Amino acid sequence: MKVSELGEFPLIDILAGMVEESRNDSMPAWQNLIVGIGDDCAAWRVEPDHVQIGKIDALFENIHFKLDTATWRELGWKVLAINMSDIAAAGGMPRYALVNLALPPDTEVENIKDLYRGMLELAGKFGVAIAGGNISRAGEVSIVLSLTGVAREGRLLSRSVARPGHQIAVTGSLGGSAGGLRLLSQNLDLDIAARDSLRTAFMTPFPRVAESLLLVESGVRCCIDISDGLVQDMGHICEQSGVRGRIHVDRVPRHPAITANFPMDSVLMALSGGEDYELLFTASPETMAKVNRALTCPVTVIGEIVEGAGVELLDSRGRVFTLPQTGWDHFKAGRRTTK
Ligand SMILES: [Mg+2]
């Protein structure tokens, strides 16, 4: 059945029913929700001793995804994951999501249910409540999601507190998402394990929410998530902190499937591919030792903060490494050239 045959309000009823079924009253978001889907506004109680944080991000058809390569379930997961990653980058715990869908009238109802299945699957892992939304007609699919979170005051992570003497570290490995994009857009014939892991990295990244809380507890205060690419996101930290970031290129952990399948490009993909949704953070060596004990995911020190400005890349012999591209820019055609 098409959404135009079902109509807006029955569709909302179906989605509200799915959300209600996913309800988990053991989680703070559900306990504090006063009004959920169905009224003019959602309402929830503010948690004492916490500050509220919020984020909005979107996936647009033919800009961020194509319906012949992405599944609806993946899109639902991803739109929530990319918002959660920003909440994690701020050191917060995700709580409430508001979803705005714009759909062509001939969209299948079952596809929208799949979208919600993907979203609810990830929401359930962190107790996020889908508290409301809006549906309208459009020529192409757009999925906009805003997400609130809470953090303890004085413990927010930010981009502006990197200091000379800090080490620079990253969780997980990089470049997998760029590999996934290449896999899907060029329809490459890789072995099944590589296809699966690259597709997962690109379409259903797992946000580092749990790791972020451990970073906060370990004493980390400077963090960003890698959405635009390592070098570009490091640039944001350097600019806002007024420091220089020195990255040793050979220490940057590359996703194993890109090292195996794109050996010539894997360094570039890890440095500037973007959308990896790993956490990039800086801290003193003492704090970094605590981080290494606290986190179970890989944490790799890739460089250090020094006096100065900008990002400096060094190869294994300590020579300056020049990068042809730094990362994603929404308003320029494709990738941006280094200054
Ligand atoms: Mg971010």
pLDDT in tens, 147-176: 999 999 899 999 999 999 999 999 999 999
For ligand 1, the distance from its centroid to the CA atom of residue 86, given in whole angstroms, is 5
- Percentage of residues in the chain having pLDDT higher than 70: 96
For ligand 1, the distance from its centroid to the CA atom of residue 225, given in whole angstroms, is 5
CATH of the domain at 177: 3.90.650.10
Query: Could you tell me the residue range of the domain that residue 55 belongs to?
Result: 3-152
pLDDT at 253 over 60: yes
193 in any annotated domain: yes
For ligand 1, the distance from its centroid to the CA atom of residue 322, given in whole angstroms, is 25
287/180 same-domain check: yes
162 in any annotated domain: no
197/104 same-domain check: no
pLDDT at 324 over 90: no
Of 102, 99, 114, 110, nearest in space to 140 by CA: 102
Of 156, 125, 3, 144, nearest in space to 82 by CA: 144
For ligand 1, the distance from its centroid to the CA atom of residue 193, given in whole angstroms, is 29
Which tokens hold the place of 87? 């909440």
pLDDT at 32 over 50: yes
179/290 same-domain check: yes
8/61 same-domain check: yes
Confidence label for 323 from pLDDT (cuts 50, 70 and 90): confident
| Paired strand residues for 144 | 58, 100
157 in any annotated domain: no
Looking at the structure of the chain, the number of domains it has is: 2
pLDDT reported for residue 335: 43
224/260 same-domain check: yes
For ligand 1, the distance from its centroid to the CA atom of residue 221, given in whole angstroms, is 15
Taking the CA atoms of the chain, what radius of gyration do you get in angstroms? 21
Which tokens hold the place of 196? 């699966």
For ligand 1, the distance from its centroid to the CA atom of residue 182, given in whole angstroms, is 22
94/175 same-domain check: no
71 in any annotated domain: yes
For ligand 1, the distance from its centroid to the CA atom of residue 227, given in whole angstroms, is 6
What is the distance between the alpha carbons of residues 196 and 5, in angstroms, rounded to a whole number?
36
For ligand 1, the distance from its centroid to the CA atom of residue 55, given in whole angstroms, is 9
Confidence label for 337 from pLDDT (cuts 50, 70 and 90): very low
160 in any annotated domain: no
196/132 same-domain check: no
Summarised one tens digit per residue, pLDDT across range 65-107 is 999 999 999 999 999 999 999 999 999 999 999 999 999 999 9
161 in any annotated domain: no
For ligand 1, the distance from its centroid to the CA atom of residue 89, given in whole angstroms, is 7
194/258 same-domain check: yes
